Structure 1
Amino acid sequence: MVSEVFLERPQSRMSGEDRRQQIVRVAIDLFSRKGFRGTTTKEIAEQAGVSEAIIFRHFATKRDLYSAILDYKAAECAELILKALEEAAGRKDDRAVFRGLAFTLLELHRQDPTLMRLLLYSGLEGHELSTMFFETHVKKTRKFVADYIKQRIADKAFRRIDPKVAASAFFSMINHYAMAREIFKSAALEISSEKAADAFVQIFLEGLLSR
């Protein structure tokens, strides 16, 4: 009787892009749990199952890795946020503009709080990621909101106020709430994103609407 020989099937190797994305996901997980100072490239390599040389082959500098993290975590978020705003802004539907923004941000943070954790670590450690994030993503969205407020002031729908300050105030409400709920796990804030968004929009617009 001829014995059967079972040969181990060779594992398929990851493509360069798949490996790159895997390294980014591992780095995000470690940075969001241990901070930037508490995470080494050696740890990233071990968690990804590769050598440090592979890390540097895909990301020649740490800044390249940080940029890839922003592209992975923030680019899609910014696109979703602007998409939620543009159509309502074209109709000058104030409630829809600000509710769409508030709800989208709250849900993004609820579903995946790792970006917020990364930015908090970055700010506390004086790391460049938070500056990169602000320059590449936050500025664009805040400008959109400030420009909308400026236009509604010109339409005499909103009272006269600094549009940039008003936009910053709205984002601050949302981000503070999201941080308290998702990072600090405040039991007092366990309400749905829909209800929270409605409340913030009511507070904000009642302060802005021209009377």
Structure 2
Amino acid sequence: MKRAKPSPRRPSRTSGPERQASLIGAAASLFAANGFQGTTTKEIAKAAGVSEALLFKYFPTKRALYAAILAEKAQYSELREAVEEAAKKQDDTGLFTLLASYRIKKGADPTMLRLLLFSALEGHELADMFFQRQYRTFHDLLAHYISKRIESGAFRPVDPLLAARAFFGIIVHHRLLHDILGLPMHRSYEDTIDEYVSLFLGGLIQPSPAFRPHTHT
């Protein structure tokens, strides 16, 4: 696998927020291609078209830059509101479809998934930071929803946290195959999501009691 090299940008007069966004974008691309440990601040500065000294002015450490990437990418307010609304309506299919379709879609950016993989493989504390910022909220939200549906009798009695992890595991595995390894999809995105949700809910939903005809005594 060839190591990604930074492509220097032509220097231009930009505002502080624009410069910061440029640094975050350059770092995200390089971290996703080469890993956290395999990327130097010099390479990031070169890719962003600035000096290393200016990079340190905005981000004193690579860790601070990594945290900024996660903060920028973790803009989930609209998704969370939609998921919470589906939960209030007890719309099982709608809720699971929302979570799956946010990640499984045409043109999905694999950058964050690559960052997760590198973080886990390199074994540094940023892997935990990634999970807390990117996944923890929706893991907990889905586990809580499953728990409530079990209490109401709608879902079979299962471990809610394991069930939530299993569903997100389907999504991550799909993205590994298609977004990272490049395996072609043989179904549309919509059909694929519908199938995943149907299969998963089929194992959760409590089956209706078998019809038993009354007997006369």
TM-score, normalising length from structure 1? 0.88
Residue 194 (structure 2) aligns with: 198
In structure 2, C-alpha distance between the alignment counterparts of 1:131 and 1:92, rounded to whole Å? 31
Structure 1, unmatched stretches of 5+, are 1-10
Higher alpha-carbon deviation: 123-132 or 165-174: 123-132
Contact 1:24 1:65 in 2 (8 A): yes
Alignment correspondent of 1:45:
45
Answer yes or no: is the 8 Å Cα contact 1:45–1:55 preserved in 2.
yes
How big is each residue's C-alpha offset from its partner over 1:93-131, in whole Å with a ceiling of 9 and x where there is no partner?
1111111111112128x4211111111111111133321
Distance 2:129 2:96 in 1: 25
Instruction: State the partner residue of 1:142.
Output: 139
How far off its partner does 1:80 sit? 4.2
Question: Which residue is 1:88 aligned to?
Answer: 86
Equivalent residue letter for 1:107: K
2:161 is the alignment partner of 1:164: yes
- Going from structure 1 to structure 2, the CA distance change for 1:190 and 1:71 (only over 3 Å counts) comes to farther
Q: SS at 2:181's partner residue?
A: coil
In structure 2, the partner of 1:4 is none
Paired with 1:24 and 1:174, the residues of 2 have a C-alpha distance of 26
- Report deviation, 1:84: 3.4
Structure 1 residue runs of 4 or more that deviate by more than 3 Å after TM superposition: none
Distance 2:129 2:153 in 1: 36
Partner of 1:181: 178
- Equivalent residues in 2 for 1:69-88, closer than 5 Å: 69-73=69-73, 75-76=74-75, 78-88=76-86
Superposed CA RMSD: 1.6
* Paired-residue identity, %: 45
Instruction: State the AA in 2 paired with 1:168.
Output: R
Please point out which of 90, 104, 107 is paired with 1:106. 104
Higher helix share: 1
TM-score normalized by structure 2? 0.85
Q: Secondary structure at the match of 1:111?
A: coil
